[in-house]
Amino acid sequence: MKRLLKRACVSLLVIACSTTFSLAKDGHGHGYGLVKQQLHAYFSQLEEAKTFTGTVLVAQKRKIIFTKGYGMANYEEGIPNKPKTVQSIASLTKAFASMSIMMLEERGFLSVDDTIADYIPEFPNGDQVTLHHLLSQSSGLFDYLYNPEIWMNIDQFHTPEDLLQYYMYEPLQFEPGSRHEYSNSNYITLGIILEGVSGMTFRDFIKVNILNPLKMRHTSYDPYETDFPDKATGYDLIDPPLVTMYCHPSIPYTAGAMYSNVLDLYRWDQALYTEELVSQATLQKMFTPGHGDYGYGWYINDLEVDGEPHKHIWHWGSYFGFHGFISRMVDDKLTVILLLNISPTLGTSDELKPIVRDVAGIVFAND
């Protein structure tokens, strides 16, 4: 893949492109003609090599400068990917769960210093693990996806309490707060606490408090699979197309079950520069890195582009047949959103971060 990315960058020097680009209908994009040509040439190379099928959005300084779909949302029916195509956003869901918890803290319903035991008294060692530990991925909770029993029921509906049984009685993997270790169980636990405190399902809470205010009409936690019947299909391979295995959406829950598109995620990104959802003090709390450069639902570190470091707030997601990345270079006001409907080869952020770096390099070279 790295060789492919290098070839794509070199090709930008010689490829001319006259494609009409699909942009959000807001008049943005003026003055970015060369950047759009170069970005389209770059992603076309990836599409041709069958390493990118999905949608991309690039925005700078509150302007969408490029957004387009590549490959097929559904190969069997010949439906192409478009910027409006709805796809699984996998672990990008965690940022919505963390925002929900912080909204409840601002409103005085809980504190990140509370423990699991304050809300789930029967949880073993729950008095040792705080909500801060859960949010920052430093709790020591066993990751429920490593329990082989869940894979025997992967196509079945699960309640949040069902999920709890897959990890609650496992011993802590390390002393809470001593280090960073990514565990999806952290965000399952937060979801259960969120629903208990708010008296609302996660689905309804985010709809009322986040999605509706931001007009994110193509975003949802959809455990009953009723909201988006025409969403993209996930694939393990696209040459030839091989539909991925089925996992019931109730299983990833608040750790990774939301669906969205790049246009809605851009609305989300832009709101995080404002106090539309929470105060700047709360945002600062969420975007302060702890162990492993992880804040509350986001990684925070530097991304080096052409030898220069840029402050980088980001997250990636990987789910059956889907792979996603949201990159926020906040000092540069540059956003890159990638949603792919193909399973990753590596299953880590390392697979998409080079693409983000190349995209940023193209934009910065034309500033």
- Is residue 187 over pLDDT 90? yes
pLDDT in the model for residue 344: 77
Percent of the chain with pLDDT strictly greater than 70: 90
Residue 347 has what pLDDT?
A: 63
For 69-128, the pLDDT digits (tens) are: 999 999 999 999 999 999 999 999 999 999 999 999 999 999 999 999 999 999 999 999
Tell how far CA 207 is from the center of its chain: 17
Strand extents, DSSP E, the chain: 54-60, 63-70, 72-74, 79-80, 87-88, 220-221, 235-238, 241-243, 258-260, 299-305, 308-319, 322-329, 334-340
Q: What is the mean pLDDT of residues 211-230?
A: 94
Is 83 within 8 Å of 55 (Cβ atoms)?
A: yes
28 has pLDDT over 60: no
The two tokens of residue 118 are 């304050």
| DSSP of 18-71 | -PPP---TTSTTTT-HHHHHHHHHHHHHHHHTTS--EEEEEEETTEEEEEEEES
Q: Could you tell me which of 329, 210, 203 has the C-alpha nearest to residue 267? A: 210
Q: What is the mean pLDDT of residues 58-74?
A: 97
Confidence of residue 31 (pLDDT cuts 50, 70, 90): low
Percent of the residues in the chain that have a pLDDT greater than 90, as a whole number: 85
List C-alpha distances in Å: 51 to 60, 70, 141. Answer: 25, 10, 34
At 110 the pLDDT is 98
Q: Give the mean model confidence (pLDDT) for residues 131-141.
A: 98
Q: Identify the CA nearest to 182 among candidates 251, 147, 136.
A: 136
Q: The tokens 């910027």 sit on which residue?
A: 83
d(CA 278, CA 333): 19
Q: Is the separation of the CB atoms in 283 and 251 below 8 Å?
A: no
> What's the pLDDT at 346?
66
- Residue 39 · residue 15 · CB < 8 Å: no
For residue 14, the model assigns a pLDDT of 30
Instruction: Count the Cβ atoms, other than its own, within 10 Å of residue 178.
Output: 11
Mean pLDDT over the full length of the chain: 91
**In which residue are the tokens 């937060």 written?**
190
pTM: 0.91
Question: What mean pLDDT do residues 228-244 have?
Answer: 93
Q: Is 14 exposed, middle or buried (0-12, 13-18, 19+ CB in 10 A)?
A: exposed
Q: Among 348, 354, 359, which Cα is nearest to 317's?
A: 348
Report d(CA 95, CA 145) in Å as an integer.
Answer: 19
Q: How confident is the model at residue 327 (pLDDT cuts 50, 70, 90)?
A: very high
Q: How many CA atoms lie within 13 A of 98 on its CB side?
A: 28
* 8 A C-beta contact, residue 100 and residue 202: yes
Quote the tokens at residue 43: 């992603």
pLDDT value at 34 more than 80: yes
Pairwise pLDDT comparison (350 vs 17), residue with the higher score = 350
The pLDDT of residue 260: 98
- pLDDT tens by residue, 283-293: 999 999 999 99
CA angle 36, 42, 260 (to 5 degrees): 75
Q: Which amino acid is at 76?
A: E
Segment 30-39 shows an average pLDDT of 86
Q: What is the mean pLDDT of residues 190-197?
A: 98
Per-residue model confidence (pLDDT) at position 3: 37
Confidence of residue 264 (pLDDT cuts 50, 70, 90): very high
Distance CA 213, CA 319 (A): 27
Q: What's the confidence (pLDDT) of residue 30? A: 47
Give the domain ranges of the chain: 2-365
User: In which element (H, E) is residue 202 found?
Assistant: helix 202-206
- Confidence at residue 22, expressed as pLDDT on a 0 to 100 scale: 34
pLDDT at 121: 98
- Across the range 55-81, mean pLDDT stands at 97
| Distance, CA of 191 to CA of 185 (rounded, Å) | 10
Nearest to 342 by CA among 22, 72, 58: 72
pLDDT at 24 > cutoff 70 = no
Query: Tokens standing for 208?
Result: 């009322």
Residue type, 267: R
Q: Is the pLDDT of residue 4 over 90?
A: no
Task: Provide the pLDDT for residue 348.
Answer: 66
Longest dimension (CA), the chain: 64
Per the CB < 8 A criterion, the answer to whether 319 and 88 are in contact is yes
Q: What is the pLDDT of residue 230?
A: 87
- Band the pLDDT of 276: cuts 50, 70, 90: very high
- 237 vs 239: CA distance, rounded Å: 6
Reply yes or no on whether the pLDDT at 40 is more than 60. yes
CATH number among 1.10.10.10, 3.40.710.10, 3.40.50.360, 3.40.50.10490, domain 2-365: 3.40.710.10
| Position 345 pLDDT exceeds 90 | no
Contact, 81 vs 55, CB < 8 A?
A: yes
In this prediction, residues 156-177 reach a mean pLDDT of 97
Model pLDDT for residues 195-206, shown as the tens digit of each residue? 999 999 999 999
